[in-house]
Structure 1
Amino acid sequence: VHDELGSLLVALKMDVGWLDKRLSEQEQRAAVEAPGQRDNMRGKMREKCQNMSRLIENAVVNVGRIITDLRPSILDHQGLWGALEWQAQEFVQSAEQQLKWCMEVNEQRELPEPMAMAVFRIFQEMLSNVGRHARARTVDVDIVEREGWLHLSVEDDGCGALPQVFESPQAYGILGMRERARHFGGVIDIDSQPGRGTRMRLSMPLAAHEVAA
């Protein structure tokens, strides 16, 4: 919600601010501007209103899609492991990046539905962070199962950032990932430095939740 609707609402706020400023200037300019200048400004304001209308339409579409995707249907069709690979391939094709993929898990293992959904959503957010911030050329995905733990990492060769950026109270995506992981006894580790890319890693215990399920 914060990634998709948040960006649309920010854009709408900027457009509304632009319109408000232009309208407040009209009375002062009316006496000195030629008719052609006024017509030009009216045209710009109409364009801005049309852009705002498109943003609102996109927001409405995204609300419907978000509601539909609260339970990702791809988990039903392909299972968690297939869904993770599909999501990675979709991401790099859209972002025009190179994917390095490694998965060493028991693909016959089926995780409880809430846990599978949490892993999938965390993975989506990791990729989303790469797409929004990294300016990377390559994404390295590593998913392994060792001694009853699932380890999932996403590493990029992008611009990186200072560690404190990921601890900010406004880093809602990071907070959401950590909350999902913590619910199942997992942790999110982030290693990043400016100019050295970023590595995000989920570590989550498997056996206890499977028994509980």
Structure 2
Amino acid sequence: MEEETRLSRLKILKDIAELLNKGTDTRAVLSEVLKNLLNVTGLQTGWIFLVDQTGGYQLAAHENLPPALTLNQCAPMCSGECWCLDRYLDGRLDKATNIIECKRLEDAVDFHWGETYGLTHHATVPLKAAEENFGLLNIGSPNKTHFNKEELALLESVALQIGTAIKRINLTQREQDLALTAERNRLARDLHDSVNQLLFSLSLTARGGKERSEDPEVKETFSYIQDMAQEALNEMRALIWQLRPRGLENGLVSALKSYGEMLGLKMDIKVKGVINLPGSVEEAIWRIGQEALGNCKKHSSQEAVTMYFTAKEQEVIMDINDEGCGFFYDEEKELPSLGLRSMKDRTEALKGHFSLKSEPGKGTKIRISIPV
């Protein structure tokens, strides 16, 4: 019997390892592994929390949650505190363990959120690889109030595999990001060395033709060509900046100031606080700032732009204000342009908050706040 149990456990671990080795998308991998784990163990319900370095968590995968926990798109699972997370965050949870009485399920009963189908307890296991922690795996079944040592050992082995897979996927993503940055830099160099130089030469040639010609119509044609070449040259320089943020090595604020001045804007930048931003946050703020300054140049009819940066212990805030023509904006409706929606999406992808205020004749104010 023991040999049969051991072989069954090895098969489960083998099947899950194969799933984890194939995956490149964290959420898809976690969902598939959780479903497979429940299927082969005969257990019914499971969910996985991913926890970031600040203690914030997200429900990354779930399977067969009772109605009480899926209320309002799983709202009971997406906010609030619980004992397993508390123990994970304060370092008490370092191996698979039984959680006596789940607080979320207790609240579901106390506040009449819905049917729990007899689910009251669960086992919880930290997801980690070496010294890195990634979150929690929780497993339960109706009327099951205790997991034996063999069950906890199996869950711990699976959790270790999951933690290792998450680390692999994260490392792969970083490598891809570095490769993308290198490709952007290469493309920026190519554009600068070829198209940018051709446009500059075209502008000079048009100016020379205009100066040498005596015919007014020819002069006007050369002048038009020169203006168009200069406009295309400005667009190309802006594109190169977007691909390769030259000056970012001297700091985000310096880069945005230089970018705004390159667009012909009068930049007034104020900074409060000092913080070392993660690369993903710095990149996002840089791209958002570029889009905002581009909008100011194209739509505000004003050259003066004010930017405020406020660095707090767990948050960075960027305000971009102009006193231009503004526009009517209803907060209840969708953002009116692709650029603004892109800024909002970039912000929310990092768990940040995007706000916009604008009125005709009263300018536009944009605020970006991102946790760090």
Q: Give the TM-score, by structure 1 length.
A: 0.58
The residue that corresponds to 1:85 in the other structure is 257
* 3-state SS of 1:163 partner: coil
* 3-state SS of 1:159 partner: coil
Larger radius of gyration: 2
Quote how far apart the aligned CAs of 1:176 are: 1.4
The residue that corresponds to 1:172 in the other structure is 338
Q: 1:186 to 1:71 in 2, by over 3 A?
A: farther
Query: Quick check: 55-64 or 121-130, which moved more?
Result: 55-64
Q: 1:149 to 1:86 in 2, by over 3 A?
A: same
Pair 1:100 & 2:271 matched: no
The number of residues matched between the two structures is 153
Paired residue type of 2:338: Y
Cα deviation, 1:20-68, whole Å, max 9, x if unaligned, reads xxxxxxxxxxxxxxxxxxxxxxx89xx6xx979x969976995697367
The residue that corresponds to 2:199 in the other structure is none
Q: What percent of counterpart residues are identical? A: 26
Assess if the C-alpha contact under 8 Å between 2:301 and 2:325 holds in 1.
yes
Cα distance in 1 for partners of 2:241, 2:256 equals 19
Assess if the C-alpha contact under 8 Å between 1:162 and 1:192 holds in 2.
yes
Paired residue type of 1:79: G
Cα distance in 2 for partners of 1:130, 1:61 equals 16
How big is the alpha-carbon RMSD for the aligned residues of Structure 1 and Structure 2? 3.4
Paired residue type of 2:281: M
The residue that corresponds to 1:18 in the other structure is none
Assess if the C-alpha contact under 8 Å between 2:241 and 2:259 holds in 1.
no
Cα distance in 1 for partners of 2:368, 2:322 equals 15
Match of 2:247 among 69, 74, 82: 74
Paired residue type of 1:87: Y
The residue that corresponds to 2:316 in the other structure is 150
Pair 1:130 & 2:296 matched: yes
Cα distance in 2 for partners of 1:86, 1:61 equals 14
The residue that corresponds to 1:202 in the other structure is 368
Aligned ranges 1:107-122 → 2 under 5 Å: 109-122=275-288
Q: 1:58 to 1:91 in 2, by over 3 A?
A: closer
Paired residue type of 1:136: Q
Q: 1:72 to 1:185 in 2, by over 3 A?
A: same
Pair 1:140 & 2:312 matched: no
Assess if the C-alpha contact under 8 Å between 1:91 and 1:127 holds in 2.
no
Aligned ranges 1:18-37 → 2 under 5 Å: none
Cα distance in 2 for partners of 1:64, 1:102 equals 26
* Structure with greater proportional helix content: 1
Quote how far apart the aligned CAs of 1:191 are: 0.5
Cα distance in 1 for partners of 2:301, 2:241 equals 30
* 3-state SS of 2:296 partner: helix
Cα distance in 1 for partners of 2:310, 2:370 equals 11
Cα distance in 2 for partners of 1:196, 1:101 equals 20
* 3-state SS of 1:179 partner: helix
Paired residue type of 1:201: R
Task: Report which structure shows greater RCO (CA 8 Å, sep ≥6).
Answer: 1
Q: Which runs of 5+ in 1 are unaligned?
A: 1-42, 207-213
The residue that corresponds to 1:29 in the other structure is none
Q: 1:56 to 1:153 in 2, by over 3 A?
A: same
Assess if the C-alpha contact under 8 Å between 1:74 and 1:83 holds in 2.
yes
The residue that corresponds to 1:190 in the other structure is 356
